Amino acid sequence: MPLIIVLIGITVAILFWILRVRGTVKTLRDVDRDIRGPQRRVGSAFEDIAGTPLERVRDPRLAATILMIQLVRTGSPLTASEKTQILEFMETPLEIARISASFEWAWTYTQARLPFARVADPLVPLLRRTLTPAERTELIAMLNQVAGAHSAPSQLQREGISHLRRKLMAGEVYRLNDRQNRSA
């Protein structure tokens, strides 16, 4: 009889602690959920003032390097031939002095399998502001060559490049149309 009472006592104690731990875990999840909203709003307010890391990029050469790296990381890991092509472009025509350090810095702005447009869109205002139409065309050509360095460009890469081309050249099409209309 005392053995049965001890077993019942142990069972009740175990159930008590299980229920207590479950309640504590549930309370912690609720607190975590309540805190995440304000944390997100604070981060969002900071980004509204200072911009996202990509929006804070001020060097068009760094932006071009970021775009080349992200383009090849969109669909698959970076291959040696793609990296070589990017490094060659960093040397000529981008004329970056510290190539390896700049490559590593640009790498921190990219993410594997992130859609190319999510990286390109914040950089478009900088590129439109600082690059001439000829340099924009050269950037698109560089991206096409990087995409084809290892194998034929994938569908994702082609779509990303055409999306960037539309965004970069949007104002130029209107200017060309205006010039053609005036001369006619």
| Domains identified in the chain, total number | 2
Lowest mean pLDDT among 3-7, 89-93, 177-181: 177-181
Q: How far apart are CA 152 and CA 95, in angstroms?
A: 27
What per-residue confidence (pLDDT) applies to 21? 84
Closest to 71 measured CA to CA, from 40, 106, 23, 97: 106
Q: Is residue 101 part of a domain?
A: yes
Task: Enumerate helices (H) and strands (E) in the chain, giving the number of each.
Answer: 7, 0
Residue 172, pLDDT > 80, answer no
Q: What's the mean pLDDT in 140-149?
A: 95
Is the same domain home to 12 and 79? no
Q: Is residue 160 part of a domain?
A: yes
Q: Is residue 158 part of a domain?
A: yes
DSSP 151: S
What per-residue confidence (pLDDT) applies to 10? 93
Confidence of residue 76 (pLDDT cuts 50, 70, 90): confident
Burial (CB count within 10 angstroms: exposed 0-12, middle 13-18, buried 19+), residue 99? middle
What per-residue confidence (pLDDT) applies to 146? 96
Is the same domain home to 103 and 166? yes
CB 127 within 8 A of CB 166: no
The residue ranges of DSSP E strands in 9-167, in sequence order, are none
Percent of the chain with pLDDT strictly greater than 70: 82
What per-residue confidence (pLDDT) applies to 2? 82
Q: What's the mean pLDDT in 30-52?
A: 62
What per-residue confidence (pLDDT) applies to 23? 82
What per-residue confidence (pLDDT) applies to 38? 61
Q: Is residue 55 part of a domain?
A: no
CB 122 within 8 A of CB 47: no
CATH of the domain at 124: 1.10.3680
What per-residue confidence (pLDDT) applies to 30? 75
Percent of the chain with pLDDT strictly greater than 90: 59
Q: How far apart are CA 111 and CA 126, in angstroms?
A: 20
What per-residue confidence (pLDDT) applies to 19? 85
Tell me which residue range forms the domain holding 152.
60-183
Q: What's the mean pLDDT in 38-44?
A: 58
Confidence of residue 29 (pLDDT cuts 50, 70, 90): confident
pLDDT tens-digit profile of 145-171?
Answer: 999 998 999 999 999 999 999 999 986
For 93-108, what is the HEC assignment? CCCCCCHHHHHHHHHC
Q: What's the mean pLDDT in 137-148?
A: 96
Is the same domain home to 123 and 164? yes
Rg (alpha carbons) of the chain, rounded to whole number = 27
